[in-house]
Amino acid sequence: MQTVFNLPETVSVDQLLEALPLAYAEPKKERVKRCYLDTFDGRLHGVDWLLYQEGDELVLERNGERDRFSFSGRIPLLAADLDQSPAARSLQKVIENRALLPVLETVCESCRWPLVDSEQKSHLSLEYQQLSTPQGSHCDRIVLRPMRGYEKSLRRCARALEKMGCAIAPSPLEEWLFAALPDWPKPPRLRSDQAAYSAFCAIAHYQLEVMVLNEPGVLTAEDVEFLHDFRVALRRTRSLIGQLKGVLSAEVTERFKADFSWLGAQTGRVRDLDVWQEQLHQQSAELPADLRAGLEPLLRFIQNDRKRLKRGLDKVIEGSVYGDLKNRWRTLLEEQAETTQGVLAGEPIGKLAARQLYKRIGRVLKDGSAITEASPDEELHTLRIDCKKVRYLLEFFGSLFRGRSMKRMIKQLKRLQSTLGDFQDISTQRHNLNDTLDRMKRQKRTTPECLMATGALLSHLQQEHDRLRAQFFKEFEKFSDPGLSGAVLKELKAQKEPR
Amino acid sequence: MKSIAVYNFKGGVGKTAASVNLAYEGARSGQKTLLWDLDPQGASSFYFRIKPKIKGDAKRLLKKTNKALDQIKATDYENLDLLPADLSYREMDIVLDEMKRSKKRFGPLFEALEEEGYETLLIDCPPGLTLVSENAMIASDLIASPIIPTPLSLRAYDQMTAHAKGLGIKKDRFAPFFSMVDRRKSLHREVVTSFIDAHKALNSVIPYLSSIERMGLSREPVAVSEPRSGAARAYRLLFEEIEQLL
C-alpha cells in the first residue's frame, strides 16, 4: 500500500531524493485527470472505496488494492454499464440500482523516480504529486510506492523522509470528496418527554428535506432511486399525519392529508412502472430462453408508458401546486403556530408513540391471526398496510424504545413485511399485466410470441403467489410468538401508562 | 491459474530466454504473472536484476508455502513478479527424495500462488532428469519444451517424453517448439518442417538472433530492449500460441 507524506515548505524534492538510501533513476512525468464517482447517497464513501474514471477505464481502490475495469463510457453510469470483472461485480453489489455520478474532478501532475540498487533494479518509487481541483483545492505531496519483496527498502526510505521533516499525511481526497457529496439532512433526535407537536415538526421537516434533496434527481432520472426515495419520504409524511392525529389541528390535518395524497397519486404510477420493469427483467431471465424475446413488445410498451407519465410527473414537480404545497408545509413546520396545533400537541411524544405502537401492533396481531388458508388476498394486503404503519412508527420513534425484545421484533417485522410486500408486488404485477395486455390488444400491439411469453409469466406469477402465501403463515407465526410480541407489548404498555 | 513449465533435459536450448520473455508477454497481456526461477544458476533472476537468493533454503520453501510467498519479488514490469533462484535449489532433489510423495510436492505451492491471485505461472526448470523436473512436469498444466533442430536434440526430446509417459504425463501436455533456429542451415530448415508436421509441435519458432543473446547485457526482456525486433515478435507469437492450448 502506498505511503503518503506531506512536503514541508522548507524542503525541496531534490533534497529529499539526495537524502534517500537508494539511488534514483530517470523520472517519468505524468499529468492525469481523474473524475471521482459515487452514488447520490455516497455509498462508496460509506464503505471507504474510491472509484474514478481515468481515460477509458474505471479504477476502484479498496483496502489498498487497485482494480481497473472497463465500462460503457457513459457517465452517469449504472450497474449494467460495468463489465463482468470481479471488481466490477463487487461494485454492482454496493451501488445496486443507484447511478454513479461525477462527484469531483482532479488533476494530478506527478514526477515519479524509481529508487534503484547498484544493479539498477528498482525497489520502490518516489512520486511528487501536485493535486488540484477546478474548485481551487490544492495539495503537494510525496508518495512512496512499494514493490513486492522490498519492504525493508520502503522502511528505510520512509525513515529518511521522516528525518527530513516529512510526516505521513492523510489523503485530502476523502475530505474533498466528502465536501463534494450532497449535504444530507440528519434525522432528528427525539426525547421521550418532548412535546408531540415539536417532535412531529422535526420528523416531518426531515422528510421534507429528503424530498427536496431528491427533486433534481427525480427530474433528471439518472437512476430510479431518486423517485423511490422521494416517495418514501412522502409516504412517511403521510403516515405521520395519519397516525399522529390530534397533534395537528383537525382542519390542518385534513387539508395536508388531501394535499399529500394528491402528490402520492401523481408520483405513484411512474414508480410502479419502474418497479415493474425491474421485476420483468429479473423474471424474464427465469423464462425459457425461446420465450424471452416475446416480452420485448411488452417492455417497449411499458417504456413508452413511463416516458409519457414521466413528462406529467416532471410538470408536477416543477409546477406551482407542488411548490405552493411545499411552502405551506415548510411554513407550518418552521413557524409552529399555535393555531395549527391540535389537542394532543403538548403530550409527551414517548407516551403518544407508545400508545400508537401498542395499538398498531395489536391490530397486526389481531388481523394476522384472523387470516386463514381460505382468506381472500385482500386480507393479506390490509395486513401489509397495518405492518407498514408499525414499521414507520418504529422508524420515527424506534430510538425511544431500546429493549432487546423490540430489536428482535423489528427484525421479524421486516421479514414479515418483506413477504407481504413481495405478495403485494405479485398481485400488482398480475393486475398490471392483464391491464397492459388489454391496452396492447386494443392498439394491436401484441404478437403471438408476446402472448406466449406473458402467458408463461402469468403462470410463474401464480406459482410465486402460492409460495408467498404459504411463506406468510410461517413468518406470521414467528412474529406473533407470545414470547416476542408479549414482551414488546408489555414494554409499550409500561410507557404509554406510566405510573 | 495456468502453469507452464519451460523444460528440456538438455541444457543450452534457450529455456531461460523463453521463460523470461514468455513471462513478460503474459504480464503484458494483463495477466498477473509469476516466474519461478527454479534453476540454481539463477539466470532468469539475473535478467530481471534480482538477487538469486531466498531467505531460508529449498527445504523451507517446499515445506512452508506461506514462507515461499514472502520470497516473491516484484520485477520492474507491471503484473510480473519473480520467485528468485537460490543456490540451495541444487539440493532440492535430495530434499524432495527425503519427503513423502516426493514427485508431487509442488501442488500446495501452486495452490497458494493461485490464492495469491496469480493467473499465470512460468517455471524456468533446470536441465537434467531429476526429481525437481519431474515435480515441475507433474504439477504444470503444460510443458513448453524448447528444442534445437538437430537430430540429437530430437532424440533427447523423444527420451524425455518417453520418461514422462512413465510418470503418467501424456504427450499432449507437451508443447515442443523450436529454439535457436538458424534458417541459413538446411539441416535446421528440414528438421523443423518435418518435426512440426510429425509431432504436432508449435508453429512458432524462435530464431537464433543476436538480440536474444544481447539480453544478457541489457538485462531486460527483448520486448523491452528491442521491441521491434524479430525476437520480440517471435516470443509474442509463441505466447499467443501457448495461451490457446491452455
Q: Where are the domains of chain A?
A: 3-180, 196-496
Residue A412 forms contact with B (CB below 8 Å):
no
Give the residue, A257 or B199, on which the prediction is more confident: A257
Per-residue pLDDT, B58 = 84
Looking at residue B195, its pLDDT comes to: 82
Q: Is A121 on the interface with B (CB under 8 A)?
A: yes
Measured between alpha carbons, how far is A353 from A78 in angstroms, rounded to an integer?
40
What's the number of CA atoms in the CB half-sphere (13 Å) around residue B96? 18
The distance of B33 to chain A (nearest Cα, Å) reads 13
Q: Rounded mean pLDDT of chain A?
A: 92
How far apart are alpha carbons A235 and A227 in whole angstroms?
12
In DSSP terms, A58 is beta-bridged to A53, A69
Yes or no, beta carbons of B49 and A120 under 8 Å apart: yes
What's the rounded mean pLDDT across residues B112-127? 94
CB B1 within 8 A of CB B31: no
Place of cell 522490498: A150
What pTM did the predictor assign? 0.70
Q: Which CATH class is domain A3-180?
A: mainly beta
Is the Cβ of B55 closer than 8 Å to some Cβ of chain A? Answer: no
Q: Are A54 and A106 within 8 A, CB to CB?
A: no
CA-to-CA distance for A432 and B70, rounded, in angstroms? Answer: 61
Q: Give me the pLDDT at residue B142, please.
A: 95
| Cell, residue A356 | 400508537
CA B235 – CA B226 distance, rounded (Å): 12
The verdict on B49 touching A (C-beta cutoff 8 Å) is yes
Mean pLDDT, rounded, for B193-219? 87
Separation CA A397–CA A491 (nearest Å): 14
Nearest CA in chain B to A68: B30
pLDDT at A499: 46
Could you give the angle at the alpha carbon of B90 between the alpha carbons of B89 and B94, nearest 5°?
95
Q: Is residue A66 less than 8 Å (CB to CB) from chain B? A: no
Inter-chain contact A121–B50, Cβ cutoff 8 Å? yes
B76 touches chain A (CB under 8 A): yes
Mean pLDDT of A255-277: 95
Q: Is B78 on the interface with A (CB under 8 A)?
A: no
- Mean pLDDT is lowest, of A49-63, B97-111, B126-140, for B97-111
Query: Quick check: A122 and B76 CB within 8 A?
Result: yes
> Which residues of A fall within a CB distance of 8 Å from B72?
148-149
Residues of A in contact with B71 (CB under 8 A): 149
Q: What's the distance, Cα to Cα, between the start and end of chain A in Å?
A: 60
Please tell me the predicted confidence (pLDDT) of residue A484: 81
Cross-chain residue pair B73–A122, CB shorter than 8 Å: no
Q: What is the mean pLDDT of residues B114-129?
A: 93
Q: Which residue of A has its CA nearest to B68?
A: A149
Taking CA–CA distances from A65, the nearest residue in chain B reads B117
Q: Is A342 on the interface with B (CB under 8 A)?
A: no
Mutate to test the interface with A, among B76, B224, B225 (most CBs of A within 10 A): B76
Reply yes or no on whether the pLDDT at A150 is more than 90: yes
Whether residue B73 and residue A119 make contact (CB cut-off 8 A), yes or no, is: no
Q: Which residues of A touch B73 (CB under 8 A)?
A: 147-150
CATH classification code of A196-496:
1.40.20.10
- Give per-residue pLDDT as tens, A43-83: 999 999 999 998 889 999 998 788 998 888 888 999 989 98
**Mean predicted confidence (pLDDT) in B187-210:** 84
Please report, for chain B, the start and end positions of each structural domain, with discontinuous segments joined by +. 2-245
CA nearest to A98, candidates A279, A201, A257, A225? A225
* CA–CA gap between residue B157 and residue B148 (Å, rounded): 10
Q: Is the Cβ of A148 closer than 8 Å to some Cβ of chain B?
A: yes
Query: Measured between CA atoms, how close is B51 to chain A, in angstroms?
Result: 9
Higher confidence at residue A342 or residue B65? A342
Q: Is A153 on the interface with B (CB under 8 A)?
A: no
Residue B11: per-residue pLDDT = 87
Q: Regarding the domain delimited by B2-245, which CATH topology (the fold level of the hierarchy) does it fall under?
A: Rossmann fold (3.40.50)
Cβ–Cβ below 8 Å for B81 and A148: yes
Residues of B in contact with A148 (CB under 8 A): 72-74, 81
Would the pLDDT of A282 be above 60? yes
Query: Which pLDDT band, with edges at 50, 70 and 90, does A170 fall under?
Result: confident
Least confident of A185-189, A341-345, A404-408, B77-81: A404-408
Tens digit of each residue's pLDDT (9 = 90 or more) over A121-133:
999 999 999 999 9
- Higher confidence at residue A180 or residue A211? A211
Instruction: Tell me the mean pLDDT in the region B23-52.
Output: 95
CB contacts < 8 A, A to B, total 23
Lowest mean pLDDT across A290-294, B124-128, B225-229:
A290-294
Residue B70 pLDDT > 50, yes or no? yes
Q: Are A274 and A231 in contact (CB under 8 A)?
A: no
User: How many angstroms separate the first and last alpha carbons of chain B?
Assistant: 10
Mean pLDDT of the A242-246 span: 94
Nearest of A3, A356, A399 to residue A162 by alpha carbon: A3
Judge whether A64 is closer than 8 Å to chain B, CB to CB: no
- Asked whether the predicted pLDDT for residue B48 surpasses 90, the reply is yes
Taking an 8 Å cut-off on Cβ atoms, the answer to whether B81 and A120 are in contact is no
Q: Do B49 and A121 touch (CB under 8 A)?
A: yes
Is-contact B93 B131, C-beta < 8 A?
A: yes
- Residue A412 identity (one-letter amino acid): Q
- Sort out which chain B residues have CB atoms less than 8 A from A119's CB and list them: 49, 51, 219
Residue-wise over A386-397: b if at least 16 C-beta within 10 A, else e? bbbbbbbbbebb
* Chain B contacts in chain A segment 96-115 (CB below 8 A): 114
ipTM of predicted assembly, 2 dp: 0.88
The pLDDT assigned to A291 comes to 87
pLDDT at A73: 80
Residues from chain B that touch A149, judged by Cβ atoms under 8 A, are 71-74, 81
Mean pLDDT of A423-451: 90
In tens, the pLDDT along A384-417 reads 999 999 999 998 998 888 777 788 888 899 999 9
**A257 with A240: CB under 8 angstroms?**
no
The pLDDT value recorded for residue A498 is: 56
